[in-house]
Amino acid sequence: MSLKDGNAYRESLRILKLNVYAYGQKIDNVVDNPLFIPHINAAALTYDLANDPMTEDLVTAISHLTGKKISRFTHIHQSTEDLVKKVKMLRMIANRTGSCFQRCVGFDALNATYTVTYEMDQELGTIYHQRLRQFLESVQNNDLMVCGAMTDPKGDRGLRPSQQKDPDMYVRIIEKNDQGIIIRGAKAHMTGIVNSHEMLIMPTTAMAEDDKAYAVSCAIPTDAPGVLHIFGRQSNDERRLEGEIDQGNFNYGIVGGEALTILNDVFVPWERVFMCEEYQFAGLLVERFASYHRQNYGGCKGGVSDVIIGATVAMAEYSGVGKASHVRDKICEMVHLTETLYSGSIACSAEGKPTPSGAYFVDPMLANAVKLNVTRFIYEICRLSHDIAGGLIATLPSEKDLRHPEIGKYVEKYFKGVDSFPTEDRIRMARLIENMTGGTALVESMHGAGSPQAQRVMILRQANLQRKKVLAQKLAGIKTDKG
């Protein structure tokens, strides 16, 4: 099968028999429902860009399994060039969507699972890597969108999975038989799950032997029996049911259409099982996935920040302050922060190394540093945008008021800025800034790919503080055991 375009992707979703609820209602058709259209549009754009001669070099790759041209989102990194192209691709797409396009989590899950299953097989004599390769080839040949499924509800975070009062707080294996396994539990904050074809289940934390029932990785169709999706709320999401202007980014939405996915005794055949109680490898899979995913943020958040900067420049011009020195200084700082994020993602990619499987892995220290910077820099970029754009981004009347035959003239008159720019343009840009810098986007920047403490743990683990101490001792003339 050739690469899908956006419309073929949308049609492939219509075939699925998804069990989705939103606002307390069962949703029979996600493709044409306004709640889901922006997220589907963003994912569909990744398919269209793979078919665009101007962007296909970034968005496609050659499969190392089949030699065929495939979507980069289904590719296994074969070089540092692949890792760098991934970051460049993410920034390019984010420039066009201004929002999450949802395919990164599955991309990173495939790469992490590919590398870890190889090492499991080498050490344990299992056949998980062979199964993963067969699944991957099907994903590539059919140009499927895979949702990475790592985050469990977790319950009491002070307790390990096997210690929870409710054993379903982490996804677990409840039965094994000749045909496969049956799993139960839930995955939370699932980006793009309701418009994906497959989900790739992974453990969410390192495991002890008592936790082995929770050490599971497998692939499940998003419409498999026993799978239930409960769509999440976002800031101002009901605006999708109203006019175009009030949505801000009306084509592509805010973040990624997250959902809580329930796994009610879901059967998984053995050929789709890639970890089954090998608790010793759960932590490695988590760390590989986390580093791959944290690599992304300087790319995608850099691309989104480009749009925020552009919107802020436009608002300054519409308001007549575009040439003010303090405004230009703040915009310069926004650019500096954005490029700092991007450079970190490029660096962790360029410093990548091959794993035993042959697939390339990012530098985990630099990848975690990128993501930790994102948890700070995006907030500052948004703060500066708010500073320059002004209070109207939070207090504008609705589009219905602007269009109203009696009061619309007052909205038009009193929200006017520089005379050469239409009032509606100023309102549209203010709504875009509100949309892109609101609470949902910031929360995702903070907690997506793990909350800040997770990055700090990984950074300290990779820091080799003992070596740094010895370097200082040598320069200070202090004798050490290291010579």
300 among known catalytic residues: yes
229 among known catalytic residues: no
- Which comes out higher in pLDDT, residue 102 or 459? 102
- Which comes out higher in pLDDT, residue 295 or 257? 295
Annotated active-site residue in 170, 292, 297, 318: 297
Gap between the Cα atoms of 426 and 161, Å rounded = 51
Nearest to 22 by CA among 185, 258, 207: 258
CA angle 188-191-194, nearest 5°? 95
Mean pLDDT computed over 100-123? 97
pLDDT tens, position by position, 53-69: 999 999 999 999 999 99
47 among known catalytic residues: no
pLDDT tens, position by position, 185-210: 999 999 999 999 999 999 999 999 99
pTM over 0.75: yes
Mean pLDDT computed over 113-138? 98
100 among known catalytic residues: yes
pLDDT band at 413 (very low <50, low <70, confident <90, very high): very high
191 among known catalytic residues: yes
Annotated active-site residue in 300, 317, 342, 382: 300
pLDDT band at 450 (very low <50, low <70, confident <90, very high): low
Gap between the Cα atoms of 248 and 303, Å rounded = 17
Annotated active-site residue in 47, 74, 77, 104: 104
Residue 51 pLDDT greater than 80, yes or no:
yes
pLDDT tens, position by position, 372-394: 999 899 999 999 999 999 888 88
CA angle 187-189-190, nearest 5°? 70
Residue 334 pLDDT greater than 80, yes or no:
yes
Which residues neighbour 126 within 8 Å (Cβ) at sequence distance 6 or greater? Answer: 117, 120, 278
Quickly count: other Cβ atoms within 10 Å of residue 331's Cβ.
18
Query: What tokens does 101 get?
Result: 């396009």
Mean pLDDT of the chain: 93
CA angle 413-418-421, nearest 5°? 85
Distance (Å) of CA 129 to CA 113, 150, 180, 304, 328: 8, 19, 17, 36, 53
Mean pLDDT computed over 247-269? 90
Residues at the annotated binding site? 191
- Which comes out higher in pLDDT, residue 464 or 89? 89
In this predicted structure, what is the pLDDT of residue 447?
Answer: 55
Q: Which domains does the chain have, with CATH numbers?
A: 6-281 (2.40.110.10), 292-475 (1.20.140.10)
Mean pLDDT computed over 228-242? 85
Q: Which residue has the tokens 């050739």?
A: 2
Percent above pLDDT 90 for the chain: 81
Mean pLDDT computed over 250-268? 91
Residue 483 pLDDT greater than 60, yes or no:
no
Annotated active-site residue in 198, 278, 434, 444: 444
Number of helical (H) and strand (E) elements in the chain, helices listed first = 17, 14
Task: Please give the torsion angle defined by the CA atoms of residues 76, 207, 454 and 458, in that order, rounded to the nearest 10 degrees.
Answer: -70
Coil, strand or helix at 107:
helix
Mean pLDDT computed over 208-223? 98
406 among known catalytic residues: no
pLDDT band at 136 (very low <50, low <70, confident <90, very high): very high
Residue 348 pLDDT greater than 90, yes or no:
yes
Annotated active-site residue in 119, 258, 317, 399: 258
Nearest to 149 by CA among 345, 299, 285: 285
Residues at the annotated binding site for FAD? 191
277 among known catalytic residues: no
Question: Are 180 and 268 a contacting pair, CB within 8 Å?
Answer: yes
Nearest to 226 by CA among 201, 189, 257: 201
pLDDT tens, position by position, 262-295: 999 999 999 999 999 999 999 999 999 999 999 9
In this predicted structure, what is the pLDDT of residue 188?
Answer: 95
Coil, strand or helix at 266:
strand
In this predicted structure, what is the pLDDT of residue 250?
Answer: 87
- Provide DSSP, 4-64: P-HHHHHHHHHH----EEETTEEES-STT-TTTHHHHHHHHHHHHHHT-TTTHHHHEEE-T
If you compute the radius of gyration of the chain from its CA atoms, what whole number of angstroms results? 24
119 among known catalytic residues: no
Here the contacts of 315-318 (C-beta below 8 Å, separation 24 or greater) are 315/388, 315/389, 315/390, 315/426, 315/429, 315/430, 315/433, 316/388, 316/389, 317/418, 317/421, 318/417, 318/418, 318/421, 318/425, 318/426, 318/429
Residue 233 pLDDT greater than 80, yes or no:
yes
